[in-house]
Amino acid sequence: MFELNAKIRKFQETFTCNFHKEFSLGTLAGKELKGVPLSTLEDMLDQVISQTSMMEEEYLAEQNIQKQTQKELIDCERNVSLTEVILKTTQALQDLTRQTSELEQMCTALGEELQRRCICPNCHLDNVEVLGGIL
């Protein structure tokens, strides 16, 4: 967009300078305006209008591209944000899964230890029923 504005300014300066060089009073001193045909001036004016229209169309096209790029940027930022949330949630879920697994292993180890302690070292009978009465 800045490039387009610079081109427009440069064009305007060039046209203004050329116009003043060719048609200023200082250079027309001793010359008559009758020497410049009206059709030439009309052609120059048509050319300026045509170039201005082309520049305006290019500007509008660039503006549409900029708007589309802005929308794409917003979508990408939204996707990055959602990805970060999903990543954090996944990590939290993995932490909970690991904790659950550790707790299951601990419960299994405690259950095995309880069963081992409930077996009589002499007769090797299972005394778990007695433990139920105590608890």
Letter for the amino acid at 110?
Answer: L
Residue 90 C-beta-side C-alpha neighbours within 13 Å: 6
pLDDT tens string, the chain, 135 residues long: the values are 677 778 777 777 776 655 555 555 444 443 444 566 888 888 888 999 999 999 999 999 999 999 999 999 999 999 999 999 999 999 999 999 999 999 999 999 998 888 887 787 777 777 767 666 555
- pLDDT for res 29: 40
Can you give the pLDDT at residue 28?
Answer: 45
CA 69, CA 63: separation in Å to the nearest integer? 10
Q: How many structural domains does the chain have?
A: 1
Q: What CA–CA distance (Å, rounded) separates 122 from 103?
A: 33
Give how far the C-alpha of residue 3 lies from the chain's centroid of Cα atoms, to the nearest Å.
23
Expressed as residue numbers, the domain containing 39 is 2-134
pLDDT of 18-42, one tens digit each?
A: 555 555 544 444 344 456 688 888 8
| pLDDT at res. 32 | 47
Note whether 48 and 15 are within 8 A (CB).
yes
Closest-CA residue to 50 (of 23, 19, 18, 11)? 11
List the Cα angle 50/3/12 in 5-degree steps. 45
> What is the C-alpha to C-alpha distance for residues 135 and 107, in angstroms, rounded to an integer?
18
- 54 vs 11: CA distance, rounded Å: 12
